[in-house]
Amino acid sequence: MGKIFQYVLDTTKNSVFYFHFILLDTAPSLCYAFHETRVHVMKTFLTGVIVSLLIGTTGMAQDTASFKGSEVLPELLRSESGLQIKTLDEWKFIRQPELYETFSKEMYGCMPGLPEEIKYTVFESSTNALNGLATRKQITISMVNNAHKTSVDLLLYLPNAARGPAPLFLTLNFKGNHAISDEPEIKICEKKMAPSDKEPYPRADASSRWPLDLILGKGYAVATMARGDIAIDGKGFPTNNVLGLFPELQNRKDNFTTIGAWAWTLSRALDFLEKQPEINPRQVAVLGHSRLGKTALWAGVNDPRFAAVISNDSGAGGAALSRRMMGETIADLCRAFPYWFCQNFQKYVGHDKEMPFDQHQLMALIAPRHIYVASAEDDAWADPEGEFTSLMLANPAFELFGIQAALPATKMPLVNEPVHGHNGYHMRTGKHDLSRYDWENYIEFLDKHFEH
């Protein structure tokens, strides 16, 4: 049985260069410790060879350090049957479907189709919101499936100064739609966000994360829904939410999960939003912070209508590579938040380094659309370097679409020095948060790609 180990090296050009070698594994039953030692010896040997070959190449030491802990990764461009993926067709018809199936079966769970009934009711609107900057609409999405019912409120701001259909940020929030702004007309979300919540969050409690003046002022529409309105962020299986619409999807190893429900509902919101004449349906970015950044990635993978996917500090189970085991591990995720992932994912607890898939492959599933990953310097729990590296390692999938160096960086950018290519990355100073600086960069990046 052969095992393929993939060593990722920097090149002096702006592209990633893969160096493969095959370890003939004649004794698959050898104990893990021995296996690790052997890999370590091979790595050390290989690094020595490479360093002597490239001696004198500037930045080499730094670049190699960028990949610390991620040298041994499941291959992106080799199919399960061993085929080296060289063409776009091979990617589209062989590798992409099998990777999608892996993430859906093993990690985020299955995704349902449309419910039997879905209705959108605009229950409030004003053309004079945010001091005349925007038009506000509040919409209830009512859904019925198999006699189960639920509803979710969507808050939408449209820029009044737009010259035509506007690009849109579609997002989820942590504390309720009423927590993103102090506008008294915004309906208070009475549903709990998490089981420990006693009462709704105060109005505008999360407004620092939502610089509406900036977003609307730059000509972007923004729409949001609350995580708890869709599915409570906690264990158990309440029936009065989106998960409850599909109880038959629970008793299976690839069950419909909370991240799945959040992502699925983003698509149901998009079904409505893409038909609004004030919105450009080809310029919709799905954005999320932290657990909702994990969700944005999964939503982007599932729904090709999202032209850009923005993951803010999404960390483990999001942009960060699992194999590095820096910050949060799979054991941490599955202990605190087992319901985010499907039952199958539990089997990887303690096996982060042996998983047959990793998050660079998830990123690649979004190609050729735009991805932006952002990290924060003090957010070691989310492993900034792991977030950067996985996005960079998705570049070869974009190359199949003719996009060279989709993320034009081969080493970790410096703090507050964003890299904006076809894909984008930045690490800002500060803590785990969604800040005005993050939004400024998302807008600057999208302005390069979304003409409006």
Q: Take residue 122 and report the two structure tokens written for it.
A: 């605009």
Catalytic residue status for 432: yes
Report the run of H or E that residue 141 belongs to, with start and end: strand 134-145
CA distance 247 to 174: 24
Q: How far is the CB of 314 from ligand GCU (least distance, A)?
A: 6
Six-digit token string for 126? 């004003």
Active-site residue (options: 290, 375, 390, 435): 290
Q: How far apart are CA 56 and CA 64, in angstroms?
A: 14
Closer CB to ligand GCU, residue 177 or residue 290? 290
Tokens of 265: 């509902």
Closer to ligand GCU by CB, 315 or 421: give it. Answer: 315
| Neighbour tally for 134: CB within 10 Å | 26
Residues that bind ligand GCU (CB under 6 A): 290-291, 315-316, 328, 381
Minimal distance, residue 383 CB to ligand GCU, in Å: 10
Q: Reduce the DSSP state of residue 38 to 3 states and report it.
A: helix
Helix axes 96-103, 291-302, angle to 10 degrees: 140
Annotated active-site residue 35? The verdict is: no
d(CA 331, CA 314): 17
Q: Give me the least distance between CB of 291 and ligand GCU, in Å please.
A: 3
Q: How far is the CB of 336 from ligand GCU (least distance, A)?
A: 6
Nearer Cβ to ligand GCU (145/290): 290
Give the Cα separation of 129 and 133 in Å (integer): 6
Widest pairwise Cα distance in the chain: 71
Query: 176 or 396: whose CB is closer to ligand GCU?
Result: 176
Pairing of strands 308-312, 279-289: parallel
In whole angstroms, the minimum distance from the beta carbon of 337 to ligand GCU comes to 7
Alpha carbon distance 201, 29 (integer Å): 54
CB closer to ligand GCU out of 290 and 423: 290
Spell out the residues 6+ positions from residue 76 whose beta carbon is closer than 8 angstroms to its own. Answer: 95, 360, 361, 364, 393, 394, 396, 397
- Token readout for 378 is 């003090």
Helix (H) or strand (E) holding 259: helix 258-273
Contacts of 447 (CB under 8 A, 6+ apart): 218
Per DSSP, which regions of 321-406 are E strands? 370-376
| Cis before 112 (ω within 30) | no
The rounded distance, in Å, linking the Cα atoms of 103 and 386 is 18
Closest distance between ligand GCU and the C-beta of residue 381, in Å?
6
Considering the complex, what minimum distance in angstroms separates the CB of residue 338 from ligand GCU?
Answer: 12
Minimum CB distance to ligand GCU smaller for 342 or for 367: 342
Which of 115/293 has CB closer to ligand GCU? Answer: 293
Residue from 125, 142, 432, 449 carrying the catalytic annotation: 432
**Residues labelled catalytic:** 290, 432
